[in-house]
Chains A and B, each alone.
Chain A
């Protein structure tokens, strides 16, 4: 179910953001001194590999990193988590992303879209992730779709470790049921 897929996505997101990741593979970026940011980055393409296998890949048209504030701002974010043990890849895109390493908080906004290869899609205009509380949330509208269902609501709280999700208001859902397994054949 889409809600389930979204939980998987969040777990991966938490896994990525929560780690002290070491750049195993040099990011193909062109860095120049930036205006007020310490570092301005273009054509970011960063892949984390482990034991020779790609774990996730972050691409962004550009970004900047503020060393003092410990904040990284990214434009046109495209984040792919490569599936393991038979699980397909998951992809998150957004117009912008801000990662605050001090507060452990990630914000993605502007056409936030998360999808996997089974056709599950989550869309929202703004999504937050709090690494300390292991919580994904938004107060805005959320839409979850797959080939079999669509759920809309306003306000999302996803408790990553408990694998529980809440929609806070205005819930509408439509489920294409189809015959139960025993009935087929």
Chain B
């Protein structure tokens, strides 16, 4: 699969927007949809954190987050997108579905450049996974 293009244009739509030059944040509120390359993020709230030189480094999505990348659909209550690392860390009942298979835990890190996710359990939530046996010709699994 082509690597995720973290420098591709980012498009965000929402009901409202609030920008705060002191805390250097731009917050999109209400029916937020963000698209970059082959990634789409749906959320109730999305906060863009920028730094000196006005570069976007981190994006935090909250409130019924749903992230779609190809066949992969990740859900949770919070997702932190780190542009530098090209990762998304999901918490708040996180789950990654791929077709009928899924993995869930306390924290999931999705590697956007790879077809890989890291699932971590914790006190409250053990790792759970469900993989359907493949027929011989396409042995794909959503997570290792």
A and B found bound together: yes
Chain A interface residues (CB < 8 Å from chain B): 1, 3-4, 7, 148, 151, 153, 162-183
Binds A, one of B54-62, B92-100, B104-112, B126-134: B54-62
Beta-carbon contact of A166 and B21 below 8 Å: no
Q: Knowing A164-B18, A165-B18, say if A173 contacts B54 (CB, 8 Å).
A: no
Which residues of chain A are within 8 angstroms of B55 by Cβ–Cβ distance? 177-178, 180-181
Chain B interface residues (CB < 8 Å from chain A): 6-22, 26, 28, 36, 50, 53-57, 83-84
Please pick, from A166, A172, A177, the residue contacting B83 in the complex, using a CB distance under 8 A: A177
Please pick, from B18, B19, B22, B53, the residue contacting A181 in the complex, using a CB distance under 8 A: B53
Residue of B nearest to A179 (CB): B7
Beta-carbon contact of A163 and B17 below 8 Å: no
Q: How far is B53's CA from A166's CA once the two chains are assembled, in angstroms?
A: 22
User: When A and B form their complex, which 5 residue pairs have the shortest distance between CB atoms, in order from nearest?
Assistant: A3-B19, A163-B21, A167-B17, A1-B54, A165-B19
Beta-carbon contact of B13 and A172 below 8 Å: yes
Which residues of chain A are within 8 angstroms of B26 by Cβ–Cβ distance? 1, 3
Which residues of chain A are within 8 angstroms of B17 by Cβ–Cβ distance? 151, 153, 165-167, 171, 173
Please pick, from A163, A164, A171, the residue contacting B16 in the complex, using a CB distance under 8 A: A171
Which residues of chain B are within 8 angstroms of A171 by Cβ–Cβ distance? 12-17, 28
Beta-carbon contact of B16 and A175 below 8 Å: no
B22 shortest CB reach to chain A, Å: 6
Which residues of chain B are within 8 angstroms of A175 by Cβ–Cβ distance? 9-12, 56
Please pick, from A163, A172, A174, A183, the residue contacting B20 in the complex, using a CB distance under 8 A: A163
Which residues of chain B are within 8 angstroms of A3 by Cβ–Cβ distance? 19, 21, 26
Residue of B nearest to A178 (CB): B7
Please pick, from B15, B19, B57, the residue contacting A164 in the complex, using a CB distance under 8 A: B19
**Additional A-B contact list (13), CB under 8 Å, known A1-B54, A163-B20, A177-B6:** A3-B21, A4-B54, A165-B18, A165-B19, A171-B13, A173-B11, A174-B11, A175-B11, A175-B56, A177-B55, A177-B56, A178-B55, A183-B84
Please pick, from A4, A163, A164, A174, the residue contacting B9 in the complex, using a CB distance under 8 A: A174
Which residues of chain A are within 8 angstroms of B84 by Cβ–Cβ distance? 180, 182-183
Which residues of chain A are within 8 angstroms of B9 by Cβ–Cβ distance? 174-177
Which residues of chain A are within 8 angstroms of B7 by Cβ–Cβ distance? 177-179
Interface centre among A4, A148, A162, A171 (most CB of B within 10 A): A171
Beta-carbon contact of A174 and B16 below 8 Å: no
Q: Knowing A1-B54, A181-B53, say if A173 contacts B21 (CB, 8 Å).
A: no
